[in-house]
Amino acid sequence: MRDLAETIRTIPDYPKPGILFRDVTTLMGDPLAFEQAVDEMAAPWRETVVDQVIGIEARGFVLGGALAMALKAGFTPVRKPGKLPFDTISEDYELEYGTDALHMHVDAITEGTRVLIVDDLIATGGTALAAVRLARRANARIVGASFLVDLPELGGAEHVRNENITVNALLSFAGH
């Protein structure tokens, strides 16, 4: 078994000063670490019916696609504006400077669909909460949210838990 934290590369001051960027491409590039990460992320949900994994662009696609296979679920992408070809619903979220938006195909999730929201990392939670709002607008049942990395000092996982959503993260890193 790998210590998965050691397979994630940390890049200081990227994309701007003061940020410790947790680069999960090194974990994904290590076959055993990648397999272990997907197994461990899937484990808490194996006894739960998950119809669709909602993966958040872009690293959430890689983990979410693998998790969907592991859980025998479908995969629904949530993407930045202008990327999805069909009609979409969208939710704005705050960035440090300005706002961004996430889109989902209008017909991707139907009422009562049991969804698991997946991304590589949760920081402030703004991104994940936008995905939560999209899922709720589609009248999905959110069974949980799964992340490889949590940055607990930024409070995002707590915000999602405050929405009565079960949150699981494999690793916690101190700092931003």
Residues that bind ligand AMP (CB under 6 A): 19-22, 56, 59, 119-128, 156
Q: If you ran DSSP here, which 8-state letter would residue 45 be given?
A: G
> In this complex, which beta carbon is closest to ligand AMP, that of residue 56 or of residue 142?
56
Least distance from C-beta 112 to ligand AMP, angstroms? 27
Least distance from C-beta 14 to ligand AMP, angstroms? 8
Contact assessment for residue 115 and residue 53, using Cβ atoms and an 8 Å cutoff: yes
Least distance from C-beta 151 to ligand AMP, angstroms? 6
Structure tokens at 122: 């949760």
> In this complex, which beta carbon is closest to ligand AMP, that of residue 62 or of residue 106?
62
Structure tokens at 130: 């936008």
Contact assessment for residue 70 and residue 37, using Cβ atoms and an 8 Å cutoff: no
How many Cα atoms within 13 Å fall on the side-chain side of residue 63?
A: 32
> In this complex, which beta carbon is closest to ligand AMP, that of residue 64 or of residue 125?
125
> In this complex, which beta carbon is closest to ligand AMP, that of residue 20 or of residue 101?
20
Cα R_g (the chain), whole angstroms: 15
Least distance from C-beta 7 to ligand AMP, angstroms? 14
- Specify the long-range contacts of residues 19-28, CB closer than 8 Å, at least 24 apart: 19/176, 20/173, 20/175, 20/176, 22/121, 22/149, 22/151, 22/173, 24/59, 24/120, 24/121, 24/148, 24/149, 27/148, 28/62
List active site positions: 59, 96
